[in-house]
A = this chain, B = another copy of it.
């Protein structure tokens, strides 16, 4: 008897269970089986760092429904009518016979399961540096529930004093915070010149400064050469520049690769980033096999290129599409990603949507403009907190290509705003008059995002010549001697100042002290203040009075990522 469709899902973390549940809702009759290698199912893996860091103590919260039911095979069977086989490994796919070979890891018994539709949700595997000592005790990743259990024990047992995090990406930074909160002395080691490579250098440096302010050490521009051990246990790491750091724990977080082994062995098409190639229906090169989540490559909607985008939200969205199409034929689509990402970094949040300046350049965009805006997220009287945003647009069209935002303020809302702007293919002109929710507990009268668009418009219209803090620093380091004007008040200057030979002329006194400015109206003048709003006003005054080479240091002191005089 034909009748019942049989859908097999390989992978039980995020995309797999989502696909299975969606398929069930569309087809109450189908047989749906999840094959899961790990003992747990549907783990909230993005929550691991917060479990390790002690934001909550009940491990079950990572694998429970919101009402406290553990998502185990019994739950799947009763609540969803789905057979979930945990500790069971899928070892091969016979596409011709339409079967999957599975192995019960508890009994070692093998079995062949037939399918009508197969969904691959095999996830990703952490990269491990190919260096000596990688097998020592005390080296882990934070990829699996077992890893989370291990690091939580580290926290609770309080025996480990020093740890290194290898890799300053999203998971590395989240783990850094978690272990630092556990009282462990942490060093983050990053091979590249900056943390969080989805940010441009200047914003990443602000995050790095914040991490350091929390007593975590950061080493950039340096990779790891060797794990050092004694009696099989990690006792330190040796860096590429020869430095040795003693430590009892190393967390490797240098990224993940698509786990496409099964797919490749079955002859399915994979891409340059190593992931399974799927069309917009999440269908692989075999029409009966779908794939979703960390194992696939996704289309970057801005560059048009396929990328590996291992984000938990995309895994769920893709799983939903794969499940719908596997159950009912191709109808749902997943168009692609703009690679929106966010992470908590102690009291900061850092995130990005669309392209950074670096990524835009790498993607071949040559005609771009950027701007940095620094401001509180809401009024000072409602205890506003700082946000620093870098906006990247295509100059000719004004199209928004990307936005990054860091700071203690409400970064999440800023990124959601920009992500939707990019989704809607909006331009700077569109954002100028965006109609966002305003009340003092939630935002400034002109929201931080809109203000960024305003500054960008001023630049695009030639009303403001911006210069980044990095460019100013480079200029000064190179021996240039621009006239540097700090437009703040004397009290502010006494509290905080950069100390690069700047002249303090408060904006309120500027028009009466023009004689202190260079007599040469073509001399280079760089204006700033705390966030460079008064800096911009000062520049407009000077331009109005005939100076022709006046620049505004974008973001002002709040965006200055280098050491200050005070």
Task: Enumerate chain A interface residues (CB-CB to B < 8 A).
Answer: 14, 24-29, 44, 46-47, 50-51, 55-56, 58, 61-62, 66-67, 69, 75, 78-81, 174, 311-317, 320-321, 332-335, 337-344, 349, 351, 353, 376, 379-382, 410-413, 415-417, 419-421, 423-426, 430, 432-443, 445-447, 450, 454, 463, 488-489, 492, 507-509, 511, 530, 534, 536-537, 540-541, 543-545
Contact = CB atoms under 8 A, between A and B. Distances in A.
B78 A435 contact: no
A446 to B, nearest CB: 5
A156 B211 CA distance: 42
A435 B339 contact: yes
B434 A423 contact: yes
A544 B29 contact: yes
A176 to B, nearest CB: 15
B435 A67 contact: no
27 contacts: A14-B445, A28-B540, A47-B382, A50-B382, A50-B441, A67-B489, A78-B508, A78-B511, A80-B537, A81-B541, A313-B436, A314-B435, A321-B433, A335-B433, A341-B439, A343-B439, A344-B439, A410-B413, A415-B437, A417-B417, A419-B434, A419-B436, A420-B420, A420-B424, A420-B434, A423-B424, A423-B426
B439 A353 contact: no
What is the oligomeric copy number?
2
A547 to B, nearest CB: 11
A423 B430 contact: yes
Contact of A437 (B24, B81, B419): B419
Contacts of A316: 445-446
Contact of A46 (B25, B430, B438): B438
Contact of A312 (B78, B382, B445, B545): B445
Given A27-B544, A78-B511, A342-B438, 6 more contacts: A14-B445, A24-B540, A50-B441, A66-B376, A69-B508, A339-B435
A381 B463 contact: no
A317 B433 contact: yes
A417 B174 CA distance: 26
B379 A44 contact: yes
Given A78-B508, A435-B339, A492-B67, A25 B381 contact: no
A50 B333 CA distance: 47
A440 B530 contact: no
Contacts of A424: 420-421, 423-426, 430
B412 A437 contact: yes
Contact of A44 (B340, B349, B440): B440
B507 A79 contact: yes
Nearest to A440: B47
Contact of A423 (B333, B338, B435, B439): B435
Contacts of A441: 50, 344, 349
A329 to B, nearest CB: 13
A415 to B, nearest CB: 4
Nearest to A422: B435
